[in-house]
Structure 1
């Protein structure tokens, strides 16, 4: 009887309750089996980490302090804040130059279309008036008067357009936006891989202001001279200074062979690349000046011919002067502003400035006698090769061949 009661109590108990009790005992037993962890002292060194190849990975660890009181814990907060302020200003200038560049590109298109339309319409009126001069009592005065005013309007608009050169302004804003973006990337790199200093802040400020002077946004008072007496390379960088801190390695990646290679590169850039773009710039400037004078002169002659047609309707020379002046003036205007001769001149001037900046950068490193103050030689060689659009082997071959004769240009990009 007792056995039956025990069996009934067992059967009456809930299976879920028995299972829960069982799991609770097992979890309790497992939870109290803590691993034997030994807490390391915070002041002890961080253990070295090994990669899969067995090499020690200490590059990132060496950048952080071993103790919380190490002054190198974080970059200077004031320096970082100033660099971020400079980057915000640079980002704003990029947008400004892009927007102004688009606006001035619209100026070039609209002014070119408007002036050509006005000139052709005036030329057509002169031709119609000349053909209608054989008809007795034909109303020629309104046609000649309207064509004269249209020629004068086209001449005035073309003079203003030649003064400001919208296509050249567009190229200036395009270069400025590109160089400001490059400067922003340069500052971001310094903030990412190094400990920026107050010297980096000063250098960033100087570069921003140098770009503002080289590519001004306003037109009145500070606009760049569109027809200079002499072609000179564009300069958008401040005076370069040597590095303020020493490198860690003894030779810093430099060797006698690399120094000779860089000297030959400087010669190539001076004799071939920069000289060639200055020569092309002089030709473009001469064409630029000639077209700028010829366009308003021809439309002005068209206006004179139209006035002479009013005074002497049967004068064939007045008709030729009005029609040919307007037609040829339209062609000249299309070549100058449609072909964007001003933009081509600015491009040549900017390219010559780029090679001049490279020369100064190389010479600055070579003039520094202490190699520890120079940029790392291997990195600098790679930077020069990339800027010239060449591989390292091609750069060395060009430098070696230039010792006897200069046949090849340094740059393969432009």
Structure 2
């Protein structure tokens, strides 16, 4: 008796794309060969093209993009690795310093108490405990001075920062659009150069903590030397370069080489010498204190054993606190890294100036802007720096960088 009326649905002409059963590798190969079916090619073009390329017919090579993304993922992983290991090695510095100083001061206290004790088993126990603690502190201090945890932590902080910078460079390359095989090769070379400059393992690959001479840190791939070109005409401009800009960059490089880089290398030499002296004095004092505490209580040795056992331990604690609490190794690494920064700028400018084909250089206006930002100067200040350097010559003592 009852009737149920159902609403009528209107059918639309919407069509759904057919899913392809081909594998991803096969699809990428077909796209590269230009034989991919037109019904599904637009999906990949939308993904690979940047907004600025939407109206052009050029499409980025999907294989190049895949390689860049793979490198970018590896770089992001290295950032986390260096960050975590840097925190771990910073904890090493704090824990080892606290432990060694606690052991040293406890051993000095025991040596002093042993000097006031009468002959017998308490005297022997205090002497033995003090000597063993001094010997243990000496061994731990030798290892700590060898690896320099504060310097290791600074290396990992630098590595994490530089890998983040490389990650941003790859992202910019992809965002601009149409990356090439050359971009992939350069990114790989930069990753490998950073891995070599800041190794993660300690055994076998650790950087020398007490080198014979201070050299700037190098974390970039070396570029081949190219023949020098003659200056461009004063009125001629190519790729943003002209004779005035070339001369300005030469003057800036001269200032960085003569003042900034030389100053940080000089400070690095002082930091290295101070670190060597402190690293030698710490274990020496704890070793002498161990000898003094072993002879406490012998009348034939007088008071020198007590003085050596107590004062030696106190001085060793002061030396260790100054070396590792003051993080002298970290300061040395900071100076070395800053000198490397100025060396990198120097090589970048010279590589552009020595490029024979001006069109293959980095755009002159963009390069000038980058140099100014890296030195913490405006474009007008950069020009004033170059002009002042050209006028005063060797008497010019102003530093090029305003950042550090």
- Contact 2:135–2:287 under 8 Å retained in 1: yes
Determine which of 262, 272, 280 is the counterpart of 2:259.
272
Partner of 1:22: none
CA distance in 1, matches of 2:223, 2:295: 62
SS of the residue corresponding to residue 182 of structure 2 reads helix
Report what 1:392 is aligned to: 379
Using the TM superposition, give the Cα deviation of residue 240 of structure 1 relative to its aligned residue in structure 2, in angstroms: 3.1
1:218 and 1:137, CA in 2 relative to 1: closer, same or farther beyond 3 A?
Answer: closer
Whether 2:367 is the aligned partner of 1:380: answer yes
1:146 matched residue in structure 2:
129
Partner residue in 1 for 2:17:
none
Change over 3 Å in CA distance of 1:236–1:139 after alignment to 2: same
Aligned to 1:28: none
- Structure 2 CA distance for aligned equivalents of residues 80 and 61 of structure 1: 16
Displacement, 1:315?
1.9
Q: 1:97 to 1:335 in 2, by over 3 A?
A: same
Which residue of 1 is the match for residue 403 of structure 2? 413
2:62 matched residue in structure 1: 77
Q: Which residue of 2 aligns with 1:39?
A: none
TM-fit CA distance, 1:171: 0.2
Match of 2:142 among 159, 179, 182: 159
- 1:121 and 2:106 are equivalent in the alignment: yes
C-alpha deviation, 1:138, in angstroms: 7.4
Q: 1:195 aligns with which of 178, 190, 215?
A: 178
The alpha-carbon deviation at position 65 of structure 1 amounts to: 4.6
Structure 1 position 369, deviation (Å): 3.1
CA distance in 1, matches of 2:325, 2:255: 35
Call closer, same or farther: CA 1:136–1:389 in 2, change over 3 Å: same
Change in 2 beyond 3 A, CA 1:344/1:61? closer
SS at match of 1:79: helix
8 Å contact from structure 2 (residues 93, 324) kept in 1: yes
One of 334, 352, 362 as aligned partner of 2:349: 362
> Cα RMSD between the aligned structures?
1.8
| Aligned counterpart in structure 1 of residue 191 of structure 2, from 205, 208, 224 | 208
Deviation beyond 6 Å, 4+ runs, structure 1: none
Structure 2: distance between partners of 1:75 and 1:352: 38
Q: Find out whether 1:170 has 2:149 as its counterpart.
A: no
1-side partners of 2:205 and 2:371: how far apart? Answer: 33
Higher radius of gyration, 1 or 2: 1
1:89 aligns with 2:74: yes
1:129, 1:84 → 2: CA distance? Answer: 67
| Number of residue-to-residue matches in the alignment | 343
Distance 1:224 1:317, change over 3 A: same
Q: Does the aligned pair in 1 maintain the 2:114–2:297 contact within 8 Å?
A: no
Q: How far, CA to CA, are the matches of 1:160 and 1:190 in structure 2? A: 44
Give the 3-state SS of the residue equivalent to 2:296 in structure 1: helix
| C-alpha distance in structure 2 between counterparts of 1:210 and 1:413, whole Å | 25
Distance in structure 1 (CA, Å) of the matches to 2:334 and 2:299 = 48
In structure 2, relative to structure 1, the CA distance for the partners of 1:176 and 1:406 (3 Å cut) is same
Q: SS of the residue aligned with 2:163?
A: helix
Query: Alpha carbons of 1:79 and 1:136: their partners in 2 closer, same or farther (altered >3 Å)?
Result: closer
- My pick for the range that moved more, 307-316 or 206-215, is 307-316
Q: Deviations over 1:92-143 (max 9, x none)?
A: 00000011011111110000000000000000111111223xx465721111
Aligned to 1:262: 249
Structure 1 segment 315-326 matched on structure 2, within 5 A: 315-326=302-313
- Aligned mates of 1:270, 1:242 — CA distance in 2: 19
Alpha-carbon distance in 2 for matches of 1:76, 1:313: 87
Q: Secondary structure at the match of 1:309?
A: coil
Residues 266-291 of structure 1: per-residue CA shift (max 9 Å, x gap): 10011000000000000000001000
Separation (CA, whole Å) in 2 of partners of 1:397 and 1:270 = 18
What stretches of structure 2 of length at least 5 have no aligned partner? 1-49, 227-235
CA contact (8 A) 1:130 1:313 kept: no
Structure 1 segment 312-351 matched on structure 2, within 5 A: 312=299, 315-351=302-338
Contact 1:242 1:365 (8 Å CA) reproduced? no
1:290 corresponds to? 277
After superposition, residues 30-45 of structure 1 pair within 5 angstroms as: none
Tell me, yes or no, if the aligned pair for 1:242 and 1:374 is still in contact at 8 Å: no
| TM-score normalised by structure 2 residue count | 0.82
Normalised by the length of structure 1, the TM-score is 0.80
Gaps of 5+ in 1: 1-59, 244-248
Aligned position for 2:206:
223
